[in-house]
Amino acid sequence: MKKILGTTLTLLGLAVFGQAKEDSIQFAKISTEILNKGKAYNELRELTKNIGHRLSGSASYEKAVTWAEQKLRDAGADKVWLQEVMVPVWVRGKESLHIKTSNGKWKSLKMLSLGNSEGTGGKDVSGEIIMVRSMEEYDKLSPQQVKDKIVFFNYPFSQTYIETFRGYGDAAKYRSTAASLTAKKGGKFAIIRSLSSAFDDVPHTGSMRYQDDKKIPAVAVGSTTADELAELLKSQKITAKLNSNCGMKGEKLSHSVIGEITGKKDKSVIVVGGHLDSWDVGEGAYDDGSGIVQSIEVLRTFKNLGIQNNHTIRVVCFANEENGVKGGVMYGKTVKENNEKHLFAIETDAGGFTPRGISLDMDNEKRKQIQSWADLFLPYGVYDFKNTYSGTDLYPLHDLGIPTAELVPDSQRYFDIHHTEEDTFEKVNRRELLLGASTLTQIIYMIDKNW
């Protein structure tokens, strides 16, 4: 009996080893194909240089829709279609921010209105600046202290967290709520310190939201300007003057772009995607042009290597992630209405830097199964499978009980350029971008084979 058991275990070990070796060989083929023949880098150049930034509702976003539709066809998709989405239309327009110090002279500051903010209607709005360094400090101010003032929320992006997304999450509440908090106590507009890990004078935009009907402007300044302003406020009163034309202009019909290769076994769907829109500054190269071209590369690689996928592999280029998530919501709604079975969905929306891991937002059994594949990824520098979040566009799918995930690149430089004029093609490294596409293809290969 002992001998039989030993033989069985030996055979089982050989079978497991054989399977791992087969997967290891396929991983190498995927990596070699993408690093040598991948088109993602060139396609990112096209997207950023020929179209540029792509705010939802803009003419440039509509150009990106046409571009993505063609690229999916070129990559070998069996089927490509546009999914209708009603998106908000926000327009920035001209804007300026000045301060007047004790010498009586006005000085212009670099700034950006926050996304979805209402402006001043092209009129000057001015008042004395008061500064707070935290939400708790602001809560202690009375309405009398805030009334007719400009509130400057000088909360820095924490340098303590090694995982910079934690620093971003910690500071993000100031961007999203500063305007409404200021309005509730009678302030005229809000200034925030940008959500930036860099020490420069580059302002960052990003989405904010109103909590009630009183809508006042909110703007961001870079770290250097924030420090200079804080220093001036130690010794003197400062007046700020804002003139901006930004605001919401209703909604319009737009589209997410979807392409897929049909499964040979069944029609269960595996999703890989990013968001096609970007903010209206820079070129949206990292956020999220990188994710779009990486996702298309996955589909292309399956076709080029002749991998016979069991399940349908679908690329989704989501509309309107930045200032509404309408594309993600509509996709989730359609999946539910059509009772369409999804096995897994992964988004790449954290920049095109070197991949370090995959975050797994799913039940413990499936998480452990994916973590058991870690040794296959290790030769490619991918080792981190401990996080449990997924992309914003995938939350509607996660709410339906679908396992979701997010590619985790090295994020140390991401928030230096996130939502700024610095997010350009030149910042992206070809090998790093293609390594991310390789990791995505490898995980989808394993899901398709084993689920």
Exposure string for 432-442, b = 16+ CB within 10 A, e = fewer:
bbbbbbbbbbb
For residues 175-201, average pLDDT: 97
Q: Any idea which of 121-125, 153-157, 212-216 has the lowest mean pLDDT?
A: 212-216
Distances (CA, A) of 159 to 155, 204, 223, 287, 411: 12, 17, 13, 21, 13
Long-range contacts of 399-403 (CB under 8 A, 24+ apart): 399/332, 400/332, 400/335, 400/336, 400/342, 402/335, 402/342, 402/343, 402/344, 402/345, 403/343, 403/344, 403/345, 403/360, 403/361, 403/362, 403/363, 403/366
Instruction: For residue 435, name the pLDDT band (cuts at 50, 70, 90).
Output: very high
> Is the pLDDT score of 2 beyond 60?
no
Distances (CA, A) of 205 to 9, 57, 103, 249, 427: 59, 17, 30, 18, 18
- Distance, in Å, from the CA atom of 197 to the CA atom of 157, rounded to the nearest integer, reads 6
For residues 303-327, average pLDDT: 98
Question: What is the per-residue pLDDT across 36-58, written as a single tens digit (0 to 9) for each?
Answer: 999 999 999 999 999 999 999 99
- Distance, in Å, from the CA atom of 378 to the CA atom of 89, rounded to the nearest integer, reads 44
- Distance, in Å, from the CA atom of 203 to the CA atom of 193, rounded to the nearest integer, reads 8
Instruction: For residue 102, name the pLDDT band (cuts at 50, 70, 90).
Output: confident
> Which pLDDT does position 410 carry in this prediction?
98
Question: What is the per-residue pLDDT across 351-409, written as a single tens digit (0 to 9) for each?
Answer: 999 999 999 999 999 999 999 999 999 999 999 999 999 999 999 999 999 999 999 99
Instruction: For residue 223, name the pLDDT band (cuts at 50, 70, 90).
Output: very high
Residue among 449, 317, 325, 443 at smallest CA distance from 376: 443
Q: In degrees rounded to 5, what are phi and psi of residue 254? A: -140, -165
Whose structure tokens read 């000045």? 98
Beta-carbon contacts of 44 under 8 Å, excluding residues fewer than 6 positions away, are 285, 289, 290, 293, 352, 425, 428, 433
> Is the pLDDT score of 73 beyond 60?
yes
> Is the pLDDT score of 11 beyond 90?
no
> Is the pLDDT score of 176 beyond 70?
yes
DSSP structure class, residue 229: H
For residues 95-108, average pLDDT: 94
- In the chain, the largest separation of any two C-alpha atoms, in whole Å, equals 96
> Is the pLDDT score of 4 beyond 60?
no
> Which pLDDT does position 17 carry in this prediction?
60
> Which pLDDT does position 15 carry in this prediction?
45
Instruction: For residue 246, name the pLDDT band (cuts at 50, 70, 90).
Output: very high
- Both tokens assigned to 253: 């019909």
For residues 208-223, average pLDDT: 96
> Which pLDDT does position 375 carry in this prediction?
97
Quote the mean pLDDT of the chain: 95
> Is the pLDDT score of 449 beyond 50?
yes
Exposure string for 223-233, b = 16+ CB within 10 A, e = fewer:
bebbbbbeebb
> Is the pLDDT score of 12 beyond 80?
no
